Structure 1
Amino acid sequence: MGLLILAVLLVLPNVMAGKLSKVWLQFPGLDKPTHCFAFIAVFAIVYGVWRSRPWPATDRGKLTAAAVLSLLIAVVDEAQQAILGRGRTAEYGDLVADAAGILIGLTCVNIGRLGMRRATSISIVALLLVPVVAVTAKTYHDLKHFNRGMVYEREHDYQRARAEYMLALDSGFQSPEIYNTIAWLDIEFLDANPVEAEQYAARAFAMDSDNPDIMDTYGWVLVKAGRAREGLPLLERAKTLKPNMYCIDLHLGVAYREAGRWDRAVEHLKRQIGRNSSDRWGQSARVALDQMEGQAR
């Protein structure tokens, strides 16, 4: 039963990632105390299961083994987030909160054995909560504007989203995602000057040159700036790495058209229309294809 509860604790966040992400967006950093309390429970469960095992022979050994195993579980949990994603991201702050939770659980189990007074035990727990408060505060500081930007972007308020992303940059938060997103908003929704958008796209690409979404944005910015032949290799590579990207065939179709390769342009534009003829990119592909057919006549 203990192991079943443990499995639920670890799997449930993945299952509920979509719903939980809305909470984390509104309250960045709230996941850190959640991690802490979750790993108090993890340690209690692991120790509760381990107590009945014959090895280690001493209770101190069992406590140590439970703490080490709980920490290993925390590392594995972060690793699977880094590898699988699924709406969750691996962060060092999570491990800090996990470790604090494990030590709090260890302290609580040992209170009776060590004969601590209540004030002493409360002081130890409070001390262990300090790093949790610290990583929570840092996460809030780092992500508050970035998260608000994502909220506005989901609401299709792209101008306010961009303003929040710029505030995030001003606060010192940097990542390839934020530079890529600013470039994407500029070129796709805000009709900004492609030359200005290029500085953000290039910065994102310099930070993460293997990301197909970043390749697509950078390539598309170059196409819109009149440099289709420079943008094509990036778009082709993005297509190879992420063939089902929702907008990639429109971008390739326009890029091939601008490069004078109309046969390839028609192929990709039709593929984009076939993917979804009613969304923004399908409609744009239809307009581009109609323009080409009109010019051909």
Structure 2
Amino acid sequence: MLDPRSAAVPDLTGQVALVTGAARGQGRSHCIALAECGADIAALDVCRDLDVPSYPLATRTELDDVVAAVEGLGRRALPLVADVRDPGEVASAGETVEEAFGRLDVLVNNAAVVTSAPFWELSEAQWSAVVDTNLSGVWRTTVAAVGLLRRSPRGRIVNIASTGGVRAVPEFAHYVAAKHGVVGLTRAMAIELAGANVTVNAILPGAVDSPMLAGLADELGLTPADVHKRWLHDQLLNEVITSDEVTGALLWLLSDAARHVTGHCLAVDGGALAR
């Protein structure tokens, strides 16, 4: 008889996973967990600061640390330095994955940035940076990877969206617009890739304890605790969400237990969307 506990943990032995925004936070957690499940990892991050957002982004040292952690688990790891806003860099990263591994089975679109202001005060640079990273970057990376994913025996795409992808959050109009777009894109991709046996799902995290949230707090002149307090009142479960808990949802979506789940949005939000 099938053990339901093991059915919910994917066996990714011999498979290859590409994770964007891989150098820290949720991306790092995803990479290490996928490697623990047997996958080789292509870890992509921009590894430099940008004009927008103003907070520091991941570094090459942090990306190399992820690579070392994956290799320490006995898996192959490929560092990819690329900006998901740049079509040429993303296409080149896809070609590098094919040259290095010859296959791709899992894509986790995790790269994201955030800023905050009333919509009428957002600059063109803020709007462009958030929408082009959080929405167009998902489309762009998936386009670069889809040829390999369609050849996989069980291709899986998981887009890290947000609870902001299904409800409005004041002073985050650009982020909300982008994440709503990710939800719609997820559903459209699921329909178009069903014939190739590729599932496409999204995860809707709430406010996750992460470097991005800490960076946002600093940008707003707040502490991370202040930011958590602002969002925790929406949750039914009054606890901070961790990157590992989002990773747990990712692993379930990649498992055989979820093989008939596609076009779905799975919230990891402490019950905030129930209100």
TM-score, structure 2 normalization: 0.29
More strand by share: 2
Compare relative contact order (CA 8 Å, sep 6+) and give the higher one, 1 or 2.
2
The structure with the greater share of residues assigned to helix is 1
Q: Which structure's CA Rg is the greater one?
A: 1
Question: TM-score by structure 1 length?
Answer: 0.27
